[in-house]
Each structure stands twice: as structure tokens, then as C-alpha cells.
Amino acid sequence: MKIIRPQIAKYIIEVYFDSWFSVHKSNIGIISLWIRTPAGLGKVYRCPRCDELIPDRELGGDFVKCSCGWIGFPRELVGETLFKLNIPKWAKKLAYFVRKMEVDADIILRRGKIPISIIEAEMVARENPKGGELLDKARKDEKAIYTKQALIKDLSSGMSMEDAIAAFLKA
């Protein structure tokens, strides 16, 4: 009997939402992109002109050159991106990145568990010596992973990528 091992996705799309998440309203969230390397996870940046993916391992000098012809400083690259979108628009945005990554990405969704942001909890911790507990709670979050294999399975059943991702976000 042949054992089939799931392929590990090359990329990770990480989305973080505070605990104020609604399936009916717009949600503020942050998208971070990562690449798996033999040495561990590496950050993936985007060209500010054409949105091409540029892994951090390609940043070595004082300047960055993109295939679109853009030349700039590494600090000008796009890292984390903040969006305020409803579920269909979040699904469309995440599908855009999955396609840029040639459907070789896992999506990691993180949602804060308590109704206070990390920034607010840090401010409380500075003012109150016992406020560190609140900061620890704010840092803990629930995590859900939509693997590349699960996405491909949903796509092969006839779902559109946007519908599959929207269903994952609502779960």
C-alpha cells in the first residue's frame, strides 16, 4: 500500500482579526505573507508598483530591483497590509493572493479571543502593574488553517475560489 503524504504549501497567507469579527459587517484585518524555506519561515514583501512577490531572502543590498523595472529601498516594499472589508471582499482579496502564489498557499486565520486589542492591552499594562495578564490574554488568539489541499478539494468539487474562502472565513 502506497502512503500519500500531503504536500506542504510553499507560501502562507496569514490574516489577523481582532475579536470584533462579524460576518455581516466590514472587519479590520492585517494580511502578512510568508514563504517556507529550509531555514524556516521567511517574510514575503510586495513591489509597491506591480505587487510582485519578493521574498526577504532576495533583499541583500541597499536597493531592490523588481522585474517591472521599479528600483527602490527595501523599506519601500509592502509588508503587512491593513484592510477593512466585508466577507465577500475579504474572500476576493485572499483569492487574489492565493492566485499570485499559484495556489501553493495555506491560509492561516487568527482571531483575537477577547474584545480588546493588543495595543489597548499594552496601554493598560503600562499603567497598571497587574495589567500584564490582560496583555497575555490579548496575545492569545484562536487559529484556523485552510490548507492548500482543502482548498484544492473544494475547488475540484466545483466551488469558486472566492466562495470556498468565504465559507472558510465564516466557519
Taking the domains of the chain in order of start, what are their residue ranges?
11-47+80-170
H or E element at residue 92: helix 87-100
- Residue 10 or 61, more confident: 10
Give the span between the Cα atoms of 62 and 157, in whole angstroms.
47
Give 113-152 pLDDT, tens digit per residue: 655 555 555 566 566 655 555 545 555 667 899 999 999 9
Give the span between the Cα atoms of 53 and 14, in whole angstroms.
15
| Per-residue confidence band for 24, with pLDDT thresholds at 50, 70 and 90 | confident
Q: pTM for this one?
A: 0.80
pLDDT at residue number 5? 60
- Report the DSSP beta bridge partners of residue 32: 14
pLDDT at residue number 171? 83
Residue 20, classed as helix, strand or coil, is coil
